[in-house]
Amino acid sequence: MGEIEDSENRRMVFVTVGTTLFDALVRAVDTKEFKQELFRKGYTHLLIQMGRGFYTPTKSEAEDGSVAVDYFTFSSSIADHLRSASLVISHAGSGSIFETLRLGKPLIVVVNEDLMDNHQSELAEELAERKHLYCARPRTLHRTIADMDLASLLPYPAGDATPVAKLINRFLGFPDD
């Protein structure tokens, strides 16, 4: 049994909670159920960025029938991890969401049900409706993995600040560029 380390066979799932506390998500991805679904779908590694959470996952090497698990709390930039991921599972912060979509990575957004005034879910649900990502709850995450069809996701068109700039300039009396 060799290490599944060469990049051709390495398919990493990156889980990120940003600067938040989201133990429900970290616990959900650390369950046997969830890891088995990942393995069934051909993923080899699970990397968890756990943020301010208290629950620490169990690290493990790749073994027969399961994924390798690693975790860390924060990093100055998650861009490299996003880039090397085959699938991203993120909290519903707009920064994480758009950083991931701009890199063209398949994304599952998990809304934190413990947050008061959950305006974050509006954005996740709207983008899910437009088929740019999948939306899931911590308890049903493993089913989302089982049922997902990443090929059906639509690429997210890049945003553009020129319309705003135009309106601001016009209002102030500056000429159009």
Partner 1 sequence: MEINDENLFSISIVIIIGLIFISIVRVIYVIYQTGKPLHSKSQKPMSTLIVLGSGGHTAEMINVLSALQKDRFMPRVYVAAATDNMSLQKASVLEDSLVDMNGGKVVSAKFMQIYRSREVGQSYITSIGTTLIAIAHALWLMIKIRPQVILCNGPGTCVPLCVIAFLFKVVGIRWSSVFYVESIARVKRLSLSGLLLYKLKIADQFYVQWAQLQRKYPRAHYVGSLM
* C-beta of 57 vs 93, nearer to partner 1: 93
Q: Please identify, among the stretches 7-15, 28-36, 79-87, 158-166, the one whose residues bind partner 1 according to the rule CB under 8 A.
A: 158-166
With CB under 8 A, what is the number of residues at the site for partner 1? Answer: 29
Of the two residues 130 and 139, which places its CB atom closer to partner 1 in the complex? 130
Q: Does 74 bind partner 1 (CB under 8 A)?
A: no
Nearer to partner 1, 16 or 44 (CB): 16
The token duo for 9 is 């066979």
Q: Does residue 154 belong to the site contacting partner 1 (CB under 8 A)?
A: no
Q: Which is nearer to partner 1, 1 or 172 (CB)?
A: 172
* CB distance 93 to 22 below 8 Å: no
For partner 1, the binding residue among 27, 81, 98, 144 (CB under 8 A) is 98
Which residues contact residue 125 at a Cβ distance below 8 angstroms, ignoring those fewer than 6 apart? 135
Q: Which residue has the tokens 């991203």?
A: 88
Q: Is 79 near partner 1 (CB under 8 A)?
A: no
Instruction: Name beta bridge partners: 70.
Output: 47
Distance of CA 1 to the CA centre of its chain: 30
Which DSSP helix (H) or strand (E) runs through 100?
Answer: helix 94-102
Residue 54 tokens, joined = 């208290």
Is residue 90 within the footprint of partner 1 (CB under 8 A)? no
Asked if 113 interacts with partner 1 (CB under 8 A), we say no
- Residue 118, interface with partner 1 (CB under 8 A)? no
Q: Determine the Cα–Cα distance for residues 142 and 71; give it in Å rounded to an integer.
A: 19
CA distance 33 to 38: 9
Please report, as ranges, the residues that interact with partner 1 according to CB under 8 A: 93-95, 98, 116, 119-120, 122-123, 125-126, 157, 159-165, 167-175, 177
